[in-house]
Chain A
Amino acid sequence: MLLTITYEGSHTQDLGYLLFKNPDRPQAFSLSFGKAYVFYPEVSDARTTAALLLDIDPLDLAKGKEGSGVPGLFDYVNDRPYAATSFLSTAISKVFGTAMSGRCDKFPDLAKTPLQLTATLPCLKDRGDEELARKLFEPLGYTVETKRGLLTDAFPEWGMSPYITLTIRGKVLLSALLHHLYVLIPVFDRQKHYYTSADEIRKLLSHGEGWLAAHPERERITRRYLFKKRGLANEALERLRQTDVPEKDAGEDEETEESEETEETPAAESDDAPAEQDKPVSLNTLRMEAVRNAVLASGAASVLDAGCGEGRLVALLLKEPQIQKITACDVSVMALEKAAKRLHLDRMPEVQREKLTLFQGSLTYRDKRMDGMDCACVIEVLEHIDLNRLPALERNLFGFVAPRTAVLTTPNREYNAVYGMAPGSLRHSDHRFEWTRAEFAAWTERVCATYGYTAAIRGIGAVDENFGCPTQMVVFTRNG
Chain B
Amino acid sequence: MDKFKIEIPEFALVAMVGSTSSGKSTFAQRYFKPTEVLSADFFRGMVSDNPDDQSASKDAFDLLFYAANKRLGNRKLTVIDATSLQQSARKQILDCAREQNVHPVAIVMNLPEETLLERNRARTDHRIPDRVVRQHARDTRRCVKYLRRDGFSFVYEITSQEQADNVEIVRTKLWNDHREDTGPFDVIGDVHGCCDELEELLAKLGYEKADGTYRHPAGRKAVFLGDFTDRGPRSMDVLRLVMDMGKAGTALAVAGNHDVKLLKYLFGKNISRTHGVEETIAALDARDDAFRMEVRSFLDGLVAYYWLDGGKLVVSHAGLKQEYIGRSSGKIRAFCLYGETTGETDQYGLPVRLNWAAEYRGNAAVVFGHIARREVKVENRTYCIDTGCVFGGKLTALRYPEMDLVSVPARRQYYEPAKPLDAQAPGEDLGDLLTVEDFNQKMHLETALGLSVDVHENNAAAALEIMSRYAADPHWLIYLPPTMSPCETSKLDGYLEHPLEALAYYRNNGIATAVCEQKHMGSRAVIVLCRDADTARRRFGVQDGTRGILYTRTGRAFFQEKETETALLDRLSAVLTETGFWAEMETDWVCLDTELMPWSEKAQGLLRRQYAPTGYAGIAGLEAATAVLAQAASRDIPRLDPEAPNSVDLTALLTRYQGRLEDLRRYKSAYQQYCWTVRNLEDIRIAPFHVLAVEGRVFQDKTHVWHMETIRKYITGRDPIFLETPYLVVDTGDEASVQKAVDWWTALTERGGEGMVVKPETFTAWGNGRLLQPAVKCRGREYLRIIYGAEYLQEDHLRRLKVRSLYRKQSLALKEFSLGMESLTRFVQGEPLYRVHQCAFGVLALESEPVDPRL
Contacts and interface: CB of A to CB of B under 8 A. Distances in A.
B615 A152 contact: yes
Contacts of A400: 427, 433
B788 A76 contact: yes
Given A39-B632, A365-B436, A395-B433, A123 B620 contact: yes
A311 interface: no
Interface in A58-86: 58-59, 62-63, 66, 75-79, 81-83
A152 B664 CA distance: 13
A1 B620 CA distance: 10
A51 B631 CA distance: 11
B637 A28 contact: no
Interface string B424-443: 00110011111111011000
Interface in A16-57: 23-29, 37, 39-43, 49, 51, 53
A165 interface: yes
Interface in B601-636: 605, 607-618, 620-625, 628-629, 631-632, 635
A152 B436 contact: no
Contacts of B790: 58, 77
Contact of A391 (B468, B543, B625, B787): B543
A365 B468 contact: yes
Given A4-B628, A53-B628, A395-B433, A77 B786 contact: yes
Given A82-B622, A165-B620, A28 B648 contact: yes
B616 to A, nearest CB: 5
B646 interface: yes
A197 B462 CA distance: 31
Contact of A58 (B473, B631, B791): B791
B643 to A, nearest CB: 13
Given A122-B621, A365-B436, A43 B635 contact: yes
Interface string A386-404: 1011011001100110000
B797 A59 contact: yes
B797 A362 contact: no
Given A39-B632, A361-B436, A27 B648 contact: yes
Interface stretch (A154-162, A172-180, A212-220, A226-234): A154-162
Contacts of A157: 677
A384 interface: yes
A332 interface: yes
A366 interface: yes
Contact of B617 (A82, A364, A386): A82
A390 to B, nearest CB: 10
A4 B635 CA distance: 16
A25 B648 CA distance: 8
B462 A25 contact: no
A151 interface: yes
Interface in B676-727: 677
A76 B378 CA distance: 51
Interface in A347-371: 360-367, 369
A293 B767 CA distance: 67
B370 interface: no
B464 interface: yes
Contacts of A151: 608, 612-613, 616
A362 B427 CA distance: 19
A363 B201 CA distance: 45
Contact of B800 (A39, A59, A79, A385): A59
B632 A51 contact: yes
A280 interface: no
B650 interface: yes
Interface residues of B, number: 75
B677 A155 contact: yes
B788 A162 contact: no
Interface in A314-336: 331-333
A79 B614 contact: yes
A51 B434 CA distance: 63
B464 A362 contact: yes
B430 A82 contact: no
Nearest to A151: B612
A29 B618 CA distance: 22
A333 B632 contact: no
Contacts of A53: 625, 628-629
Interface string B554-584: 0001000000000000000000000000000
A82 B616 CA distance: 9
A163 interface: yes
Nearest to B621: A82
Contacts of B609: 263
Interface string B406-426: 000000000000000000001
B456 to A, nearest CB: 13
> Number of contact residues on A: which range applies?
35 or more
A366 B637 contact: no
Looking at B458, B611, B615, B624, which has the most chain A CB atoms within 10 Å of its CB? B624
Nearest to B637: A24
A24 B792 CA distance: 34
A29 B646 CA distance: 7
A82 B618 contact: yes
Contacts of A159: 608
Contacts of A264: 605
A152 B791 contact: no
B468 A364 contact: yes
A333 B465 contact: yes
B94 to A, nearest CB: 29
Given A40-B635, A152-B672, A331-B464, A62 B620 contact: no
B469 interface: yes
A369 B437 CA distance: 10
Contacts of B800: 59, 63, 66
A137 to B, nearest CB: 19
A1 B640 contact: no
A39 B627 CA distance: 13
Contacts of B608: 151, 158-159
Given A2-B621, A163-B620, A366 B430 contact: yes
A149 interface: yes
B777 interface: no
Interface string B799-825: 011000000000000000000000000
Given A123-B617, A161-B616, A361-B436, A37 B648 contact: yes
A25 B638 CA distance: 8
A123 B465 CA distance: 38
Contact of B468 (A40, A59, A125, A362): A362
A362 B470 CA distance: 12
Contacts of A40: 632, 635
B627 to A, nearest CB: 8
B616 A163 contact: yes
B632 A79 contact: no
Contacts of A123: 617, 620-621, 624
A329 to B, nearest CB: 10
Interface in A111-126: 122-123, 125
B96 interface: no
Nearest to A66: B800
Contacts of B786: 77
A60 to B, nearest CB: 9
A25 B617 contact: no
Nearest to A78: B614
Given A161-B613, A365-B468, A399-B427, 16 more contacts: A25-B637, A25-B640, A27-B647, A37-B653, A77-B611, A77-B614, A82-B618, A122-B621, A151-B613, A152-B615, A154-B672, A154-B675, A157-B677, A366-B435, A367-B436, A400-B433
29 contacts: A26-B647, A37-B648, A39-B650, A41-B631, A49-B628, A53-B628, A58-B789, A59-B797, A78-B610, A79-B614, A79-B616, A82-B620, A82-B621, A152-B612, A152-B668, A155-B675, A158-B608, A159-B608, A163-B620, A332-B465, A333-B461, A333-B465, A363-B468, A364-B468, A365-B433, A366-B434, A366-B435, A392-B433, A400-B427
Q: Which 6 A-B pairs have the closest CB atoms?
A: A82-B621, A79-B617, A122-B624, A41-B631, A362-B468, A365-B436
